[in-house]
Each structure stands twice: as C-alpha cells, then as structure tokens.
Amino acid sequence: MVKRRIDKPQPTEYPAYSSIYMDLMKDDGKVLEHLWTNFLNLKKLVLDLTEDQMSYRYAKGKWTIKEILVHLIDDERIFAYRALRYARNDSTPLHGFDQDAYASCSNANSRSLDDIFQEYETVRKATISLFLNLPEGSFLRGGAGIDHDGSIINKRTVRALAYHIAGHELRHINIIKERYLKRNL
C-alpha cells in the first residue's frame, strides 16, 4: 500500500469552490492511499456496465460515463502538472482549461473501457509516484491560476492539488452513482 502522510490543506490553500472536493476527503493524511482505492472502486463500479449504460446521458449536454472517466484522467494530468510546477518552486501563474472542450475532443465514447482504464491506471500510478517522491518541504509551496481576463485567481498549494485530484474523483463517483446508475440500471 502507498505510504506517505500528506496533511489535508487548510481552506486558505485552495479556492473556495474547491471545498466541494475537499469536504469529501478524510483528514487522515492518507490521500495517496485514497487515490489508489478510489481508482479501484471506480473501476469496480463501472467495469461491468453495458455500452448502453456507458453512453447514457441523464440530460442533454451532460457527459457519458466514458467521458467522465476521460475527464478525470485529463483533470488529474493537469493538476499533477501544476503540483510539479509548484513543488519545483515555479510560481508562474497557469491558465485554466475548458473541461467541456476537452470532453468534446476526447473521443471517449469510441474507446473501449479497457483502453480507458489502462490509461487511467498509468496516469494514477504516475500521480502517486510524483507525490511520493516530492521533497517534504514542497507541499506548502503554491501558485496561482490566471482568469480569462488575465487576473490572478485560484491560489493552491501542492498538497491542495493532491486533495483536489482525490476529492474531484470522489465527487464524480457520487455523480455516477446518483445520476447515472440509479436511473440507468
């Protein structure tokens, strides 16, 4: 099992809207273990679904389960990259990303679930490895994002980024359970 304690960030270490992710996380310092467990639980949750279930949209314009999975991969890559930049003391403000544009260009629905989970596992292992090998003093380093108008927003620490990745995934697991599987089984 993954062993490294990373304390849960304080509310001053992330933007207020991220509390929807942070509130889902335990305050036990085991975020890396949770990342691995989340991955296994999500895989178990959707692995046996039919193609019809995987392509279901609970409302017009909402993503399919496959699109959610690829969104989680994309988001994890972006937030792990930010963590690397900040951990290496690069505080250059970073632009956000348009998650809907990413999803529409992801080609997720034409991919096999096995292919998606192979990529997901590769990214997850890389993310865990990154956080396992960061110097202890780097977790409180941080940086900021740039809003569409060029203003600086969304200041985050490295440890807040680790918790964001895990909490964001938990939020989407809950959405899959509540909005896709309850109505679609």
* Tens digits of residue pLDDT in 24-59: 999 999 999 999 999 999 999 999 999 999 999 999
42 falls within a domain: yes
Rounded to two decimals, the pTM is 0.93
1 falls within a domain: no
* Tens digits of residue pLDDT in 130-171: 999 999 999 999 998 887 677 777 789 999 999 999 999 999
- Its domain, for residue 99, covers 11-184
137 falls within a domain: yes
The CATH number of whichever domain residue 137 belongs to comes to 1.20.120.450
* Tens digits of residue pLDDT in 98-133: 888 889 899 999 999 999 999 999 999 999 999 999
Q: Are 13 and 159 in contact (CB under 8 A)?
A: yes
172 falls within a domain: yes
75 falls within a domain: yes
The number of distinct structural domains making up the chain is: 1
Which distant-in-sequence residues (6+ apart) come within 8 Å of 116 by Cβ? Answer: 66, 69, 70, 73, 108
